[in-house]
C-alpha cells in the first residue's frame, strides 16, 4: 500500500491551517532582523502574552513534583499542607503514577463543588465529570461517541462562524459534516435562534445533524450570551433533539458592562421539566483559559448532563484508552476550583490577581478607527476586528495568492513585528475580512508610538 | 435522538474492561478491612509499585515550575542551569505556554540525538518526531490516518495475542478490525512469522489489513525479539505492504540473559535497500515505561520513517488539533534522552539508579511451581503467568459468571490482598488461563510468609 492513496479520507478533508506560513515567517524575521521579539498575540496563551503564573499554583505544583520542598521553610505553610494533601491522593504518593480514568476522585469532588457554587447551589454529580488533557481532547471524545462514521447521510454538527478551528477539525476528522451557523457581526456577534433554524434547514438532504456546538464566551468573537439567549438555545436543542456541546472555557473572563456568565447547566436546571431532565449536555472548562492561564499543563474537564447510563459506560471506555490525564494538570484543576481562602497565608497574594480585567485591553474603544472596526466585547481573550480593506489591497493580495486578511497579517508582521491570525482561519461571511488577536496585554497598543503606519 | 440508539457503532464494539470489577472490589476491601494497603501490581506503573522517582528529574521539573528555585542554593548547580535552559525554550519563559505542535524543537533535537546514539549512529530526522501526551495517544493518531472507516471491506490491523488492551480499543473505536496473531507460549511467547502469515490469510474476505502492530519488549509477555526476528518481521511487512506500528516503550527494560534490544529503525536501516527506503514505520517510546517511570506526566514520542511528505502534512494537522503535549512531560523527555554526564554534580546519584534490574523480580525462577508456570522473561515490566486450573475451579468460576482467571484474581485479592489482572483482558488461547502482574517490586514474593494458600 502506498500510504497516501490508502489513508483515511476523513483526514484528507481536515482543513490545514493558514497560520503555519505566518508563524514560520515570524521565526525567520526574529532571526534575520535580530528583533528582540516579535510580539506574538496570535495565541490564546496568557503566559506567552506576558501574564505571570500565579505564585500559589506554582508553589504547590513544585512541592508536589519535588516533595522535599514540603519540609522547607521557604514556602508558605498552606502551600506545603496543600501539596501534602494532593500527594496523599496519588498512588505511591507520586505525581508520576497513573490516576483513575476520570481523574483523582478528590479532585473531581472539588470540581463538582466548584460547579455547584458557580451555579447557585444546583448540584453537580462527580460521576458525570471527566478530567482530560485539555478540553479539546474531551470534545474529541464526546464527538467520537456522537459521530457515526458509517452512517448515510453523514452525521452533522452545527458550529458557529466564526469559530476557532480545532473543533471543526475534530468533526471532519471523525467523518462528520460541519453545519455552519453565522453569528451576527452587526449585533456584536450575537447567536440568533433564527439562524440556527436556517442552518438546520440547510442540512436537509446533506447530513443528519445530531449536535450543536456553542462557545460562550466566544472565541474569536468575545460575545457573551445572556440568560435569555442561553434559554432560547436550550429550547431549540430540545425541540430538535440535538445534543448540546458547550465550550465554556472562557467563563472566568467576562468583563463587558452588563455581561454575566450564565452556564448552560444552570439555565437548563432552572428551566425545569421537561428540559431539565431530558436535554443532553456536555460542558467543557479548563485551566488554560481560566485565570490560571496554564495551557502548557494540558488539563480540562467535561461535565455530562442527562446522558443514558449505557452511554456513560462507553465514555468511560473511551477515556480509559489513554490511561489518565496529566497529574500536575489535575492538581492545577483542584487549585483552580478550590483556591486559598481568607486567612490562608497565600490568600492576599492570590487574591490580588483575582480579576483578569487588569490585563484586558478594551479593544473596542480603540479599534473603531477608519479601516478597522470592532463591536463592544463582552468577554473571552480576543478581539476579532473587521478590516475594511480597499479594492486595491484585495487585488494585490489575490495577485500574491494570499487571502486578503492573511496578506494584512503578513504586513502587520513584516512592518510592525506583530503576529496575529487572519479571519479566514475562523470562517467569516464572504467579502468580509478580520484579524484575531489576544487582548490580554497592551503591548500591541503601546506600539502606537513606534510602529509605522501599515498601508493596506 | 436518544443518544444510546444513535451513538457511533464502533464505540459499541470497543471491549469493556473486566478489570473494573476487580479494582472496585480492591477499593471496598481497603475500606472494609482497614488493610493498610492492597498490594497493587496490576498496573504498569513504577511509582505505584514503590519505585522512587529520579531526584535529578524531579529537581529540574520543580525549578521549571517555580523559577525562584533556580536562584536557590539548595539545588545542585547543574539542576539550576538545566532548568534555566529548559525555560529558555518555553514561550514567555513559562511551562504554562503552549509549544509548537510537534513539541519544543530543542527537545525534539535531543530525542533525535538519543535515537542516533541508541542505533549506533544511524541518523534520525527531527522533523519525523512528534511528542504527545503518552505513546498511546500517538498510536491513536497514526491509526486514525491509516484506518478508512468508510471502506468496505473494513481496514484490518494485525495485533498480537496476548496484548495489552488499549491498542485494540483504539483500532475498534476507529472502525477497523483487529486481526489476531498468536504468540507462542511454548517458545517463551516468541513472535513467529508463520503465524503472521496464517493471520493474514485468515483476514481474506473479512478485512483489508494495512498495518502490523508489534510490541517489543512485550506487554504482557516480556518477550524480547532478537535481531533476526525483527528482520523477519520487517521482511514480512515489506512483502505484504503493511505499515509497521512498533511499540518500543519497554526498550530500556531488557534484562534476560542473551537478550538485547534492537530497534526496528536500526534493523530496517541496516538491512539496506529496498527495505530501508520503503518500509513505513512508526516507533513509539515514552517517559512512562522507561527508567523514569513518570506515567503521570503523560509524555511520549513517535518517530516516523519512510512516510510520504503529503501524509506527514496530515499528521501535522491531526496532532495540531490538541494544541500541544504537556510541557513538563516534554521536559522529562529531554532529561531522559539527554541525562547528566560524568562530572556533573547530579551524575553520581543519577547513575546509581541507572538500571532497572535492581527492581526486577526474576519471576520465572519462582513461578515454575505446580499449578503455575512462566517461561523465562527477557524484559518489560510484567510476568504473564500460566494458571493450570483444576476442572473444579473452572466449573466454580462459570457458576459465578466469571472468567476462570478473573475468578483466580478475585481469590488472590480477597484472600491475599494482592491485585493482579486476568489473562482474559489480554487475549489467550482458548482453554488457557493467565494472570499478569508488575514485577518491579518483590512485595508479592515477600508475601510468602504471611499469605494463605489460595485454593483454586
Q: Quick: pLDDT tens for A45-72.
A: 888 877 889 999 999 999 999 999 999 8
Q: For residue B186, what is the DSSP state?
A: G
CATH architecture of the domain B7-49+358-449 equals Alpha-Beta Complex (3.90)
Q: Higher confidence at residue B283 or residue B367?
A: B283
Q: For residue B386, what is the DSSP state?
A: E
Q: Answer whether B296 sits within 8 Å of A92, measured CB to CB.
A: no
Q: Is the full-model pTM beyond 0.80? A: yes
Chain B hits for A294, CB-CB cut-off 8 Å, are: 96
Contact in structure between B75 and B69 (CB atoms under 8 Å): yes
Per-residue pLDDT tens over the stretch A299-321: 999 999 999 998 998 898 889 88
Q: Which of A422, A420, A411, A394 is nearest to A453 (CA)?
A: A411
- Range A8-49+358-449 classified under CATH 3.65.10.10: no
Band of residue B455 on the pLDDT scale cut at 50, 70, 90: very low
Q: Residue A33: pLDDT above 80?
A: no
Q: Does A50 touch chain B (CB under 8 A)?
A: yes
Q: Residue A361: pLDDT above 80?
A: no
pLDDT of amino acid B358 = 35
Q: Does A182 touch chain B (CB under 8 A)?
A: no
Chain B hits for A83, CB-CB cut-off 8 Å, are: none
Minimum distance, in Å, between the CA of residue A6 and any CA atom of chain B:
7
Q: Answer whether A14 sits within 8 Å of B327, measured CB to CB.
A: no
Minimum distance, in Å, between the CA of residue B94 and any CA atom of chain A:
6
Q: Does B14 touch chain A (CB under 8 A)?
A: yes
Task: Read off the pLDDT of each residue in A270-281 and give the average, rounded to a whole number.
Answer: 98
Minimum distance, in Å, between the CA of residue B258 and any CA atom of chain A:
31
Residues within 8 A of B (CB atoms), A 247-306 only: 280, 292-298
Domain ranges of chain B: 7-49+358-449, 93-337
Band of residue B272 on the pLDDT scale cut at 50, 70, 90: very high
Question: What is the residue-wise DSSP string for A108-139?
Answer: HHHHHHHHHHHTTT----GGGEEEESSHHHHH
**Of the listed ranges A212-216, A267-271, B249-253, the one predicted with least confidence:** B249-253
Q: Higher confidence at residue A358 or residue B242?
A: B242
Chain B hits for A66, CB-CB cut-off 8 Å, are: 58-59, 61-62
Instruction: State whether residue A387 is helix, strand or coil.
Output: strand
Q: Which of B393, B347, B328 is nearest to B78 (CA)?
A: B347
Q: Residue B163: pLDDT above 50?
A: yes
pLDDT of amino acid A367 = 60
Average pLDDT, chain A: 88
Q: Residue A153: pLDDT above 70?
A: yes
Q: Higher confidence at residue A442 or residue B250?
A: B250
Question: Least CB-CB distance to A16: which of B91, B92, B313?
Answer: B313
Q: For residue B358, what is the DSSP state?
A: G
Q: Residue B357: pLDDT above 60?
A: no
Q: Higher confidence at residue A49 or residue A3?
A: A49
Question: Least CB-CB distance to A147: which of B8, B58, B91?
Answer: B8
Strands A243-247 and A207-215: parallel
Q: Residue B256: pLDDT above 90?
A: no
Residues within 8 A of A (CB atoms), B 337-376 only: none
Q: Answer whether B53 sits within 8 Å of A16, measured CB to CB.
A: no
Distance between CA atoms of residues B389 and B372, nearest Å = 9
pLDDT of amino acid A134 = 93
Distance between CA atoms of residues A419 and A411, nearest Å = 10
**Of the listed ranges A29-38, A100-109, B17-26, B445-454, the one predicted with least confidence:** B445-454
Interface test with A, best of B323, B440, B443 (most A CBs within 10 A): B323
**Of the listed ranges A449-453, B4-8, B413-417, the one predicted with least confidence:** A449-453
Question: What is the residue-wise DSSP string for A68-92?
Answer: GGGG-TTS-HHHHHHHHHHHHTSGG
Task: Read off the pLDDT of each residue in A96-111 and give the average, rounded to a whole number.
Answer: 96
Per-residue pLDDT tens over the stretch A127-136: 999 999 999 9
pLDDT of amino acid B359 = 38
Q: Higher confidence at residue B29 or residue B331?
A: B331
Q: Residue A31: pLDDT above 90?
A: no
Q: Answer whether B95 sits within 8 Å of A297, measured CB to CB.
A: yes
Task: Read off the pLDDT of each residue in A428-443 and give the average, rounded to a whole number.
Answer: 83
pLDDT of amino acid B129 = 98
Band of residue A11 on the pLDDT scale cut at 50, 70, 90: confident
Q: Answer whether B243 sits within 8 Å of A2, measured CB to CB.
A: no
How many helices and strands, by DSSP H and E, does chain B display? 19, 13
Q: Residue B362: pLDDT above 70?
A: no
Question: What is the residue-wise DSSP string for A417-449?
Answer: -EE-EEGGGT---TT-EEEEEE-S--HHHHGGG
Tell me which chain A residue has its CA closest to the CA of residue B281: A3
Q: Answer whether B92 sits within 8 Å of A308, measured CB to CB.
A: no
Average pLDDT, chain B: 88
Question: Least CB-CB distance to A11: which of B145, B169, B327?
Answer: B145
Q: Does B440 touch chain A (CB under 8 A)?
A: no
Band of residue A89 on the pLDDT scale cut at 50, 70, 90: very high
Q: Residue A90: pLDDT above 80?
A: yes
pLDDT of amino acid B128 = 98
pLDDT of amino acid B361 = 41
Minimum distance, in Å, between the CA of residue B392 and any CA atom of chain A:
33
Q: Within A280-373, where are the H helices? A: 309-320, 327-337, 347-352, 363-367
Chain B hits for A90, CB-CB cut-off 8 Å, are: 296
Per-residue pLDDT tens over the stretch B66-82: 999 999 889 999 999 99
The partner residues of A300 in beta bridges, in order of sequence, read: A132, A286
Q: At what angle do helices B391-399 and B404-416 cross, to 10 degrees?
A: 90
pLDDT of amino acid B241 = 96
> What is the 3-class SS of B227-266, one letter each residue?
HHHHHHHHHHHHHHCCEEEEECCCCCCECCCCCCCCCHHH
Q: Answer whether A146 sits within 8 Å of B320, measured CB to CB.
A: no
Chain A hits for B49, CB-CB cut-off 8 Å, are: 92
Q: Answer whether A14 sits within 8 Å of B298, measured CB to CB.
A: no
Minimum distance, in Å, between the CA of residue A285 and any CA atom of chain B:
15
Band of residue B364 on the pLDDT scale cut at 50, 70, 90: low
Q: Does A48 touch chain B (CB under 8 A)?
A: yes
Chain A hits for B297, CB-CB cut-off 8 Å, are: 95-96, 326-328
Instruction: State whether residue A150 is helix, strand or coil.
Output: coil
Q: Residue B360: pLDDT above 50?
A: no
Q: Does A21 touch chain B (CB under 8 A)?
A: no
Q: Does A37 touch chain B (CB under 8 A)?
A: no
- The CATH class of the A93-337 domain is alpha beta
Q: Answer whether A322 sits within 8 Å of B90, measured CB to CB.
A: no
Q: Angle at CA A141, nearest 5°, toward A138 and A144? A: 150
Is the previous residue joined to B3 through a cis bond, with omega within 30 degrees of 0?
no
Interface test with B, best of A41, A87, A97, A147 (most B CBs within 10 A): A97
Amino acid at each position: 500500500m502506498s500510504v497516501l492513496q490508502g489513508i483515511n479520507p476523513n483526514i484528507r478533508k481536515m482543513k490545514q491551517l493558514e497560520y503555519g506560513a505566518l508563524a514560520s515567517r515570524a521565526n525567520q524575521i526574529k532571526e534575520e532582523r535580530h528583533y528582540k521579539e516579535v510580539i506574538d498575540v496570535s495565541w490564546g496563551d496568557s503566559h506567552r502574552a506576558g501574564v505571570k503564573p500565579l505564585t500559589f499554583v506554582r508553589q504547590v505544583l513544585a512541592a508536589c513534583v519535588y516533595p522535599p520542598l514540603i519540609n522547607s521553610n521557604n514556602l508558605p505553610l498552606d502551600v506545603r499542607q496543600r501539596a501534602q494533601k494532593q500527594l496523599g491522593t496519588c498512588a505511591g504518593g507520586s505525581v508520576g503514577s497513573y490516576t483513575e480514568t476520570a481523574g483523582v476522585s478528590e479532585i473531581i469532588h472539588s470540581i463538582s463543588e466548584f460547579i455547584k457554587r458557580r451555579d447557585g447551589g444546583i448540584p453537580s454529580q462527580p460521576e458525570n465529570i471527566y478530567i482530560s488533557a485539555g478540553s479539546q481532547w474531551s470534545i474529541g471524545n464526546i464527538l467520537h461517541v456522537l459521530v457515526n462514521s458509517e452512517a448515510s447521510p453523514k452525521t452533522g454538527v452545527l458550529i458557529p462562524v466564526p469559530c476557532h478551528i480545532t473543533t471543526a477539525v475534530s468533526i471532519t476528522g471523525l467523518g462528520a459534516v460541519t453545519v455552519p451557523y453565522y453569528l451576527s457581526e452587526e449585533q456584536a456577534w450575537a447567536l440568533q435562534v433564527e439562524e440556527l433554524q436556517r442552518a438546520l434547514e440547510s442540512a436537509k438532504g446533506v447530513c443528519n445533524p445530531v449536535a450543536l456546538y456553542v462557545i460562550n464566551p466566544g472565541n474569536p468573537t468575545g460575545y457573551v450570551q445572556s440568560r435569555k439567549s442561553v434559554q432560547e438555545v436550550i429550547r431549540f436543542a430540545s425541540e430538535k433533539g440535538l445534543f448540546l456541546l458547550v465550550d465554556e472555557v472562557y467563563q472566568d473572563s467576562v468583563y463587558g458592562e452588563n455581561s454575566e456568565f450564565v452556564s448552560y447547566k444552570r439555565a437548563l436546571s432552572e428551566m425545569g421539566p421537561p428540559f431539565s431532565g431530558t436535554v443532553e449536555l456536555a460542558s467543557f472548562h479548563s485551566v488554560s483559559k481560566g485565570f490560571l492561564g496554564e495551557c502548557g499543563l494540558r488539563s480540562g474537564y467535561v461535565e455530562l448532563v442527562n446522558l443514558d447510563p449505557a452511554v456513560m459506560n462507553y465514555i468511560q471506555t473511551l477515556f480509559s484508552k489513554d490511561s489518565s490525564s496529566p497529574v500536575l494538570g489535575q492538581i492545577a484543576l483542584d487549585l483552580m476550583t478550590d483556591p486559598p481562602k481568607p486567612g490562608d497565608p497565600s490568600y492576599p497574594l492570590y487574591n490580588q490577581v483575582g480579576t483578569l480585567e487588569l490585563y484586558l485591553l478594551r479593544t473596542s474603544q480603540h479599534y473603531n478607527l477608519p479601516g478597522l472596526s470592532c463591536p463592544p466585547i463582552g468577554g473571552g481573550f480576543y478581539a476579532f476586528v473587521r478590516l475594511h480593506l480597499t479594492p486595491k489591497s484585495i487585488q494585490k493580495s489575490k495577485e500574491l495568492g494570499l487571502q486578503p486578511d492573511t496578506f494584512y497579517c503578513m504586513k502587520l508582521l513584516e512592518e510592525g513585528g506583530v503576529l496575529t491570525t487572519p479571519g479566514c482561519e475562523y470562517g467569516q461571511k464572504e467579502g468580509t475580512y478580520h484579524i484575531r488577536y489576544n487582548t490580554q496585554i497592551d503591548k500591541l497598543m503601546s506600539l502606537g508610538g513606534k510602529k509605522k503606519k501599515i498601508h493596506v
